[in-house]
Amino acid sequence: MKIAIASDHGGFELKEFLKSHYQREGLVLHDLGTHSSDSCDYPLIAQKMTSALLRKEFDLGVLICGTGIGISIAANRVKGIRAALLYNKEVARLAREHNNANIAVFGGRMQKPEDVIEYFDIFRQTAFEGGRHLRRINELDDMPEGE
């Protein structure tokens, strides 16, 4: 499974922590930026991730900003993207089983790194259930824009 990770400055520290942690576990998180703690704009970071996912360069993404909110809003503007802010273990499981989320989102200034690892491990190891949930996911992509 190919996984990409990206953050703004508010998530930079957590991004670096996760990369090192998973490298020790033998899992590469492909870093799409940002590459320093200098201030940058989360919509542009989200866009890098959503484009790479839609080009099918990666199977899953991780996005991080300070709260997890701004970067979620930005990513979810893009059709075919389902970004889920993971704040407990059950949500981490359901985001995959029911929502087929393709991006896990975290708040770098709000969440403990050890919790984030626990939630992301559940997320990446859980499969989509399909069935009635597939219909709902298709309805998401059929939603008209601007109405």
Active site residues: 98
Contact flag: residue 103 with ligand RB5 (CB under 6 A): no
- Residue with structure tokens 């359901």? 94
Q: Which is nearer to ligand RB5, 64 or 122 (CB)?
A: 64
Contact flag: residue 34 with ligand RB5 (CB under 6 A): no
Q: Residue 4 forms beta bridges with which residues?
A: 30, 61
Q: How many residues belong to the site for ligand RB5 (CB under 6 A)?
A: 8
CB of 135 to ligand RB5, least distance (A): 31
Q: How many CB atoms lie within 10 A of CB 26?
A: 6
Residue of the chain from 27, 69, 117, 137 that contacts ligand RB5 (CB under 6 A): 69
> Helix H segments across 1-144?
12-24, 42-54, 69-75, 89-97, 113-125, 132-142
